[in-house]
A and B are shown apart, each in its own frame.
Chain A
């Protein structure tokens, strides 16, 4: 028996309030629907890793490692890290777009768990990271990447990367909440991420760098992440680096998560 609109409106008791989990998953689904309706937003996710991988493998591979085949083994885990870190920017970018369009004002009027739009967006973006990772690894395999760690090593490497990306996303959420336009989010994020990814061990062994730069590379969190992912994929995991990345992820989430939520509430 179906309930008529009149009966539904006339119900004495209010419907049960949705749980934090269900609202978070709903907003995660919304993030995925955005990709479905605006597939162009995946353009960067698809094209950036392809361009970087091809350019560095074929243009610099021979000069840096003697052959493209040798260089791709070193390069691919680094490119994977760089790609995923760049994709994390979109979390803040899409959040800022929603705020500037007024969508978030409508969410605030709903009887839902306050952080669910933000946490849901983060969960949805994890799918975006996974897509970028699959594309990068597939291209690498086509170009001759042969990880000694096998499928298990690759999956663990990607998993570690996704954990760190989730934690780092809070940085861009804070940025998305603070700056005025989506383009400003993109610009500021690039200024932060470009030096971090290039002044790291993504492309070359830091031993060949000047001492001042080498000192920065050794404390650069991206370098630790690349070393950890590279180790897992090569079948020789570096426990110290893996623990370092996991601790960094926990600290980032524990510190930046509450700050992001506080800023989010203050904007209400």
Chain B
């Protein structure tokens, strides 16, 4: 167990080093969500009636969108490790080889936490006023990390399965699509009927509703056992475990 933890921490440090050296990806990961936040609040905010200040409504959605961008970079990093021969070298060493995936995932969580903090900072400068208590803040961050966790394991799985950087990059397009067709930017009831069905029953919507509720200081959202929070946790844990196991199996199968 000690060896396992040591391997994971070593790979995490390696993952963080890779992140810190890819300056372009770092700038994009921070700038893109900020630009999207500015665009939606300044250009669309005044025209959209969401029952509250639009900045309060949209911030959780932009944070999850940022997580998607981060996950896309993870897919690229894993694909690079698989195709560059790095994994073959690890397999010849007394190292639990799949910890390379865990390292990428934990590094992605850390990077996304930093991006989330920056997006929160910018949104507060723009007038975002959360009414959450310390406990609610903690729960909101936990919810975001759960979301980042499953989406990053999905990215790791994609990185193992694909055979080219272009294919890994294409993953970001799909991941970006999910938050748009949810309650991230507009209330679900303003969407056309056929789209509303999908938006209401996909994993991103309950996560956004939960984070939004927690940041607004709405404890009822989190306490309701059949509500968005329970659904969000179930989605995230279910998908996280599924994709982690699938990534591990795919990693072992790929030679």
Interface residues of A (CB under 8 A from B): 55, 58-60, 62-64, 68, 198-199, 203-205, 208-210, 213
Contact = CB atoms under 8 A, between A and B. Distances in A.
B43 interface: yes
A58 B42 contact: no
Contacts of B49: 63
Given A63-B190, A198-B39, 15 more contacts: A55-B180, A58-B191, A58-B192, A58-B195, A60-B44, A60-B186, A63-B49, A63-B50, A64-B44, A203-B44, A204-B43, A204-B47, A208-B46, A208-B47, A210-B46
Q: Is the interface of A mostly helix, strand, loop or mixed?
A: helix
Contacts, number: 48
Nearest to A57: B192
Nearest to B186: A63
A60 B186 CA distance: 7
A58 B186 CA distance: 11
Among all A-B residue pairs, the 8 with the closest Cβ atoms: A208-B46, A62-B190, A63-B186, A208-B47, A63-B190, A204-B47, A63-B48, A64-B47
Contacts of B39: 198
7 contacts: A58-B195, A62-B192, A63-B50, A64-B48, A198-B39, A209-B43, A210-B42
A203 B39 CA distance: 11
B251 interface: no
Nearest to B48: A63
B188 to A, nearest CB: 10
Residue among B43, B46, B48, B186 with the highest chain A CB neighbour number at 10 A = B43
Given A199-B43, A209-B46, A213-B43, A63 B192 contact: no
B185 interface: yes
Given A55-B180, A68-B192, A208-B47, A62 B186 contact: yes
B195 A209 contact: no
Nearest to B41: A210
B165 interface: no
A59 B42 contact: no
B148 to A, nearest CB: 23
Contacts of A203: 43-44
Contact of B43 (A55, A59, A198): A198
Nearest to A55: B180
Contacts of A58: 191-192, 195
